[in-house]
A and B are shown apart, each in its own frame.
Chain A
Amino acid sequence: MTSDRLRLLLPVLSLAVLLGAVFYLQPRAMSYFGLNLLFNLAIPVALATIAQMMIIMVNDIDLSVGTFVSFCACVTATFVHDTPLLGYAILAGAILAYAALGALIQLRGLPAIVVTLGMSFVWGGLAVLILPSPGGASPEWLRTLMTLKTPLVPIAVIAPLVIAFAVHLLIRRSWIGVILQGVGGNERAMERAGWSVVRLRATSYGLAGLFGVLAGMCLVGLTTAADANIALRYTLLSIAGVILGGGEFVGGRISPFGAVIGALTLTLAASFLSFLRLSPDWQIGAQGAILILVLAVRLLFVRKEATA
């Protein structure tokens, strides 16, 4: 078994174990409707996780994913709904801003953690400006898309897998993906071969912006309304999803399928905890504990790989 497969094994196993536990606790969940409920928010979480993965791919961490997705959700629920042209222009501008941020970080050698933390307040502020109180409405086509009745398996399960496959083609198969991963793997070698790392980092940040926008739009399609704090928890969820899915913080080692499965596992974990009748007080803590647990298990895996 190649180590890539081995890396994917951990998230797949955790998802299977969790799913088994949920079905054991609540056999009725084993249905079209039940699955739809279990994975309700899987699509936006998966997209946000992919956004984070683009940043981790180039050895940075984005602490603004949560507020950025909230901002995009607010834009979608207001401008895109009311004046579509302006709305899409704003979202395109946000993607460009992300790309510019990537270029800035590379050009000035800035710590991405601090820059994105600062930006998280900018996005949060913009979201508050747009939607001071919860409200807005989902564009009709988004609502239809998100509530699509797909045969056999609900869209909440199908869509994340489709997204994973598309990103897999883009990042793991296409030449541009290979070059972007190279930045995380050996930045100096890329420079030596004549690539512009500024341009490459801007590209991966731009892709992160794109997937953040998509996450915000899908979120509105599901919830039909938005507020400025709607997705704050996505920052941790997205980092956890990438790591859970076999990604590494440094070295450009990422897996789109792993990241999406990681995101699915975390969404399921939340449902599982509520099935356990665990008080909502502990939900956040349980997610933190799961993240720590996964990192600990991973450490054992890595040790084994090193000794093998």
Chain B
Amino acid sequence: MNDTRPNPIRAVLQKPWLWAYLAAGLTFAATSLIAGSGAGSLFYAALTFASFSAIVGIGQMLVITLGPGNIDLSIPATMTLAATLALKFMDTQTALILPGLLVAIGVGIGCGVVNFLLILLLRIPPIIATLSASFLYQSLAIWSNRGLRIKPPEPLADFATGGALGIPNVAVVGIALAICAWLLLERAIAGRWISAIGQNLRAARLSGVPVNAVRFGIYVNSAICAALTGFLLASFSGGANLNMGTEYMLMSIAVVVIGGSSIGGGNSNVPGIWGAALFMFLIVSMLNSYGLGAGIRLILTGLVIVGVVTLASRKGYDA
């Protein structure tokens, strides 16, 4: 505590996101060594899949930053619902791509509003509110989907799977959103408010922070991020399906925790989201290239989460 003068090297080493990138780099090296196939294509795939995790992760991170108990469990259902409705609306017509995107975002806004109203009006913990609401969204998605698999419009599918200069388009979207999130948290007034609420809700309220407005915005934002991810993912994989969101429940929380954000709230870490998203994809592909099955993958992801939360706890709670 005595020597608090900034030291550039120490400052970088103390960045919590460093570890996520280090881990991602190591798994990348280990995977390309085993797989033998081009490191370039692995990198491209990692960027693509990591962007989906990163976008939902950004939404979840802002929610978690609001402090203990704040978590959005409706992300998978929102993703599925937004993707299903948007693809159905576009009905493979190129002209409807932009309105389709608006439909997806509109679904996101709707889900976010419902989530927050449940939290505010029924005064139930966010975890239960978002979980029970997610079952409504899921039913809506099942009902509208009807087992049909509607393809995305051709140009949209091309956009989602394509890329330029070795960078996938979806990664460009993900990085742009990460930059926006970073600006919001580090430079905007609202970012200060989010962090203040996460550190101490009562003190934030007593300092004039409009707490309800901020919380409302964050929950809606998380749902919009989920809806956008659903839209992109469905376009990427050639259609929406009912299980497309399932793995993003844990993924969205995992990238936040591994990325170095404090699970206790108040302290978020945007660069870490991308590092963790890359790591989460690479570890799966590493286990795949070592020939390990889905079971082991699930177990290891779960253990990584529990391990990281345990290791990070001392830091988070002493601060």
Shortest A306–chain B CB gap in Å is: 12
Q: Is B42's CB within 8 Å of the partner chain A?
A: no
Knowing A114-B253, A121-B305, the reply to whether A132 touches B143 (Cβ < 8 A) is no
**Chain A residues proximal to chain B, CB less than 8 Å:** 61, 104, 108-111, 113-115, 117-129, 132, 236, 239-240, 243, 249, 279, 281-289, 291-292, 295-296, 299
Contact B122 A299 (CB under 8 A): yes
Shortest A240–chain B CB gap in Å is: 8
Residues of B within 8 A of A127 (CB): 295
Residues of B within 8 A of A124 (CB): 298, 302
Knowing A282-B139, A285-B140, the reply to whether A292 touches B303 (Cβ < 8 A) is no
Knowing A118-B302, A125-B298, the reply to whether A285 touches B139 (Cβ < 8 A) is yes
Q: Is B94's CB within 8 Å of the partner chain A?
A: no
Q: Is the interface of A mostly helix, strand, loop or mixed?
A: helix
In the assembled complex, the Cα of A115 lies from the Cα of B143 at a distance in Å of: 33
Partner of B295, one of A113, A126, A291: A126
Knowing A129-B293, A281-B143, A285-B138, the reply to whether A122 touches B127 (Cβ < 8 A) is no
Residues of B within 8 A of A123 (CB): 302
10 contacting pairs across A/B (C-beta < 8 A) = A109-B313, A113-B69, A114-B253, A118-B302, A118-B309, A119-B302, A121-B302, A125-B294, A132-B295, A249-B124
**Chain B residues proximal to chain A, CB less than 8 Å:** 68-69, 71, 118, 122-125, 127-128, 131-140, 142-143, 249-250, 253-254, 257, 263-264, 293-306, 309-310, 313-314, 317
Knowing A111-B68, A114-B257, A292-B133, the reply to whether A119 touches B306 (Cβ < 8 A) is yes
Contact A236 B135 (CB under 8 A): yes
Interface centre among A120, A121, A126 (most CB of B within 10 A): A121
Residues of B within 8 A of A115 (CB): 306, 309
Contact B135 A284 (CB under 8 A): yes
Contact A249 B135 (CB under 8 A): no
Contact A110 B295 (CB under 8 A): no
Contact B143 A299 (CB under 8 A): no
Contact B296 A125 (CB under 8 A): yes
Residues of B within 8 A of A61 (CB): 125, 127-128
Q: Report the nearest A residue to B118, measured CB to CB.
A: A292
Contact A122 B302 (CB under 8 A): yes
Shortest A124–chain B CB gap in Å is: 5
